[in-house]
Structure 1
Amino acid sequence: METSVATQTGRPRAAWGQMDADDAAAFNHCFAEVNGIRIHYVDEGQGPLVILVHGFPYLWYMWRRQILALAEAGYRVVVPDQRGFGQTDRPEAIEAYDVSRLVGDMVGLMEALGETSATIVGHDVGAPVAQAAAMLRPDLFHSLVMLSTPLPPRGRIRPTVALRAMAKGKMSHHLYFQQIGKPDRELASDTRKTLRSSYYSVSGSAVGADRWRLFVEPDEPILNAFTDPKDFPPWLSARALDYYVAEYTRTGFTGALNHYRCRDRNWEITSFLDGAVIRQPSMFVGGAADPSLEPPNVRHVYDQLDGYLPGLRKKVLLPGVGHGAAEESADQVNALLLEFLGQLPSR
């Protein structure tokens, strides 16, 4: 596999604690040609490898405060923009975003880094990537952490069929995003409003009618499910929001939405995983105020994680925290990650 990797800056370890985490340019940005695409990633620190995989509508940048904490604690932290996001390539074909390609990106990135062992951490749409990587390549990914999105093993029912049954005639965002073109245009019509309202409405800061509405009517715009706050909570600075807005304004949302459009395809190509479980050490961290955990079938998955993950060390729901735990409560997430990593066998 041909690779091309940028050189690390070699920043002294003492400087990490002095960095402005919201300054994206202060991080060590690299690129690698792997798995047929050009991947952008941030690479900081030295030591055991930790790969952080972001969700939607986020980027590598959602992990900025975790990068600094883990690097300062003696870990090598590698944080890619997933394919379709940010500065990583955005293939046109929807099938280019299936789980085999996404795991292949992580495997190829490890080869480019010259690494053979990693903890993989995934949030939201990054969680199924991390889960599949740990399941398919336990020789490379020796431990797993999932944030905000608890996942069962592969089910017996096609995902969109199960989603329609749960929605009972309405539309969840997973179903809404199966449409081609319409959600892409809607989300991009006012990128700043889209991101402000989604980050806020899924967070623990939103209460009452401001909270993310999980289902919309079939002919209702998906943005009706979110509230654009008058004043944004302090956990996301204006500078941080500007970075997200600039990147999504440049790229649009199609590449990111294609991750959702592969749900059924992923189910079809992973029939060989029926009954498979992840036995490596694992942890789940979510927010007790996360609207996405409210549906009974999702909460059931959280309650049953011990059976799905025989190596589960801890599962925790952070009080007052919503779907974006790494942004909303960085210190708590950092402490939990460091505790989990510190309990792993030396490699």
Structure 2
Amino acid sequence: MSSSRRQFIAFGLGALASASLPRAFAAAPTTLLRAADVHIDGYPTVEAVRWIGRYLRERTDGRLDTLAYHSGQLGRESVTVDLARFNALALTRVYLASMNDSVPSTRILSLPFLIDSTEHLRRVLDGQLGRALLADFQRRDLVGLAFYDSGSRNLYNTQRPIHEPADMQGLKLRVPVSEVFVRLVHALGANATPLPFGEIFSALQTRLIDGAENNIKSFQSSRHYEVAHYWSESRHTYTPDVLLMSQKAYEALAPADRELVREAAAASVPYMRGLWDQAEAAAAKAVFAAEVRANQVDRESMRRATDPVSREYLGDAGLAKLFEYVREAM
């Protein structure tokens, strides 16, 4: 465990032990909203949280600010979610699929081949469905502040190109810790191995897994392309990231400051999207200039293979209603 993580956890445990902390914290000259992210320094989501800090500083004369812990310094996403739930951390950015099992309504955005493009996703997130999903995090003692782009998810591995489901037979693929993704990969004929994001590189090196699925930016920034040389453009989901806040940390703020935090988070979305579009293009250029062999997949054959997964989930009345919002945004 890194020294920064030990220091932070010690801080968080000390904070939890003090019943008077919310008042003292809110009354301090500068309130630092500490934020966690597993992605590296400079990643668009990390920079978006820093942008929120600048926004808050400018509008409160430095009374509110953010402090970003990047590169998984505070642990994997499941750890940072728990830290936020118990008020040892103010903010955490996580991949939405990691919340599929604890907040079932989020499964709608992980269903395969449901979202057609980045533009479609943004229309969905900016509308009624996005607002409804953010509100649902309250059931986990969290405040949903904003959705951030995470690009299209594609397949990559160390063994061979993937053109159709038959090419996935026997492959061991890492997936997020999400029932939807496990079933998706099984439907395509591969063996799903749920692992935290930070463990993928070593798992590829040691051949614990043959590959994974992710966006091109994460494929590049995590250096997975140095080990897995086959990239297959499947675009099977466009599941986004989500910025969450501790409900207790949120309630400890004055009402005007709560609104300001929400305002800052909403205003950070177009900023993050601009960074994302640039980063995605740069990542693709870097990866395909290296020893990566890229190919298109037969998306229709993959859609047919995964249709039973989607149909079963959409048998739930709540998800079926959310599905209509997705269709309306097409």
Q: Rg larger in 1 or in 2? A: 2
- Normalising by structure 2, we get a TM-score of 0.31
**Larger RCO (CA under 8 A, 6+ residues apart):** 2
- Is the helix fraction higher in 1 or 2? 2
- Normalising by structure 1, we get a TM-score of 0.30
